Structures are given as structure tokens and as C-alpha cells.
Structure 1
Amino acid sequence: MSDFVRDFRDLHVLIVHPRDSSAEDLLQQVNRIGCNFDSVWPIPKVLEKKFDLVFVDVTDQPCAQIKSFLNSNGGELPTVIPVIGYENPSALEAVFKIGAHAVLTKPVRAAGVLSSMLMARMHWAEQRRFQKEMLKLRDRLDNFQKINDAKFILMRHHTIDDKEAYAVIRKQAMAKRTTVFEIAQSIINADGILRNIGDI
């Protein structure tokens, strides 16, 4: 947790909120925390990539417009903290739809800003870690599927069993100093070429 607090001074924060007392209070608190920050209103069409964390007023704002803005830079979604004045169904729906990492309620108080930023950054970091783990898992599943496909090709062409087919793949990988996944892909590619030639 101390790492998150220490890194706050390196964050670039954008406050998307009408210039009223709530915005002024929020700006003061973010400034006291020591973050770099900018303020803008109305909601821009494009979010600059430099921003790590975005406070956005969702009161009476079209959810589709907010989502479009947050996803407009084509990169990774920043940490998002919606600012709400009341907990009615439309405001809460917007909180969920825009992928909020924490919520800040109005009127803005000194005690709530740092804690909401901390919780949001921790949630955002955990979400990123989970997404990376999911990508790794998908890659592993894809690679295992490639091995199974390659084994099936060898079994079909050479009348060998599953274990023998895998042994062939493994032996080739060791001989060429590469992975079994690369050899499996080569076998699949070669089989595809032979099939195409047969269709000519």
C-alpha cells in the first residue's frame, strides 16, 4: 500500500467537472496530495494518453458520452473515479457502466479524496494483473491446442499413438533448440500447405 501512496506524486490526474465549489474543493485536495493535474469542462471528445487517473462528474451526463471519452485514446483505460451528487438509479448505473474503480461523493470532503484515489489505484492495478494473467492463460491454452493438433497430424500420417507423436515433437524441439509449441506450429503449417497443394 505504501508504494501506491508514494507513487501518487507521479500521477497525472484529470478532473472533468463543472467549475463550481465541488470542483474547487477537489482541485485543492489533489494539489495537496502532490499530483500533477489538469481540469476541464465540458467532457472532451478525446482523453489524452498522459492521464493516469480521471475524476469525472457523471451527474446528468450521458453514459455513452462518458464511456466514449474514457476509451477515446485507444490505449489502456485509466483509473476512473466518478463524482456523484446523489445515489439515484441513473447515477449508480453510470458508475457501473463506465467501469469505475472507486466513487467520490459530493460535497467533496478532505477526508475522502486520498482514500478514494488509493482504493481506485489498487483496484485498477489488480484488474490489470488479472487481465495479464488471463492473457497468459489463453496463450497457454492456445499452445496446448496447437500441440494436440500437431500430434493428431503426426498420428494420422505416421500411424503412431499419442505418446509417440509427442515424443517426436519434443525430440525435434530439442534438436532445433526451440519450444515444442514452435515445432507444433511448424507441423500445422506444413500440413496446411500440403492440403492446399492437394486441392490444386
Structure 2
Amino acid sequence: MGCQVDHSWPLPKTFQEKYDLVFLDVTDQNSEKLNQFINSSSKKQTIVAVVGYENPSMLELIFDIKAHSVLNKPIRASGVMTSMLLGQKIQSERFQFRKDLKALKDKLENVQKVNDAKFILMRHRKINDREAYALIRKQAMAKRTNTADISQAIINAESILSDFGDT
């Protein structure tokens, strides 16, 4: 297959960054030790769990370590390539889903900031929703920044000004 292979036994304490894919024998291993090993790397490698038997606790361990694919012992050549490619595909999709989720959370947070800032402007200036957003947009363009930053500044300013009113 043209892959460079290395092996290690017993399980090392830390993961080496040079590996893209790891076949990890999880039979008779505890999930805490395996997770410590897997999480010792900042690079997220594809994990193919190698199991000697299937039972509920073994399946729980596989889910616990977030394995991307599974191979059963005894290992046969016919299943290795499939497990490798499937694991790589799942790892890639997981990475993309996490990236997309983070982007959506950031966008939702920014939308909430803009809505909060619009509410503050509407209350203080007695203007409607569109006018408040137009003011935020105008400031963002004038300051060459985005509406979320201007909105955060409005929220911060309102918070500071309300603190002055309480004393």
C-alpha cells in the first residue's frame, strides 16, 4: 500500500505527531489510559481500534476513545484498506463538522450581539429596528470593522453607563 509503518509495545505515554493513522489494540486496555495516550497529541490522528472480541463493554470502550474505524482479530488483509479509508473519511468529516459547528456558534453569538445592541439603540434613541441596524452598520463601515465589534462596543458602553447610574 506504500505506507510507512512503525510499531510500539507497550503503549507509549505520548503520541508522536508524525503519525496520520494509528491501529490501536484496545483489547484488555482501560479507556482512561487510551484516552490519555490519544489526547497527548495536538494533531488528531485517525484511530482504527483493533479488537479481539465484541461485547457491550468493548463497544463502549471503542465509543469512549472515539475510534474512527474497527478491525477484528485475527486481522485479514481484505479488511485493512477498507478500515483505513473509512477511518480517514470519518475523521475528515468529524473535523469539518466541528469547524462548521464552531462557525455557526460564532455567527449565532454575533447575531445575538447585534440584536442586543439594536435593542439598546432602540431604547435610548427611540428608533425602530431598521434604523438601529443602519446606525450599527454605518459605524462599522466608518470604523472599518464588523457589526459584531460595534455591537459589542455598544453593549459595553451601555453596561458602563448603567453602572454610573446605580451609584
Taking structure 2 as the reference length, what is the TM-score of the superposition?
Answer: 0.91
CA apart distance, 1:104: 0.9
- Which residue pairs with 2:9 in the alignment? 41
1:102 aligns with 2:69: yes
* Percent identity over paired residues: 54
CA apart distance, 1:88: 2.2
Q: How far does the alpha carbon of each residue in 1:168-187 deviate from its partner, in whole angstroms, 9 at most, with x for none?
A: 11121222332222211221
SS in 1 for 2:24: strand
Q: How far does the alpha carbon of each residue in 1:83-112 deviate from its partner, in whole angstroms, 9 at most, with x for none?
A: 011112222221111101110111111111
1:72 aligns with 2:40: yes
Please give the alpha-carbon distance, in whole angstroms, between the structure 1 residues aligned to 2:77 and 2:14. 29
RMSD (Å), alpha carbons:
1.6
Question: Which deviates more from structure 2 when the two are superposed, residues 51-60 or residues 129-138?
Answer: 51-60
Please give the alpha-carbon distance, in whole angstroms, between the structure 2 residues aligned to 1:142 and 1:76. 28
Q: List alignment gaps of at least 5 residues for structure 1.
A: 1-32
1:194 aligns with 2:161: yes
Please give the alpha-carbon distance, in whole angstroms, between the structure 2 residues aligned to 1:193 and 1:101. 49
- Which residue pairs with 2:148 in the alignment? 181
CA apart distance, 1:189: 2.2
CA apart distance, 1:199: 4.8
Please give the alpha-carbon distance, in whole angstroms, between the structure 2 residues aligned to 1:55 and 1:86. 16
1:122 aligns with 2:89: yes
1:141 aligns with 2:103: no
CA apart distance, 1:128: 0.7
CA apart distance, 1:198: 4.0
Aligned-partner residue type, residue 53 of structure 1: L
1:111 aligns with 2:78: yes
- Which residue pairs with 2:25 in the alignment? 57
Q: How far does the alpha carbon of each residue in 1:134-154 deviate from its partner, in whole angstroms, 9 at most, with x for none?
A: 011001000000101111111
Count how many residue pairs are aligned between Structure 1 and Structure 2: 167
Aligned-partner residue type, residue 38 of structure 2: L
Q: List alignment gaps of at least 5 residues for structure 2.
A: none
SS in 2 for 1:103: strand
SS in 2 for 1:187: helix
CA apart distance, 1:132: 0.6
Aligned-partner residue type, residue 110 of structure 2: N
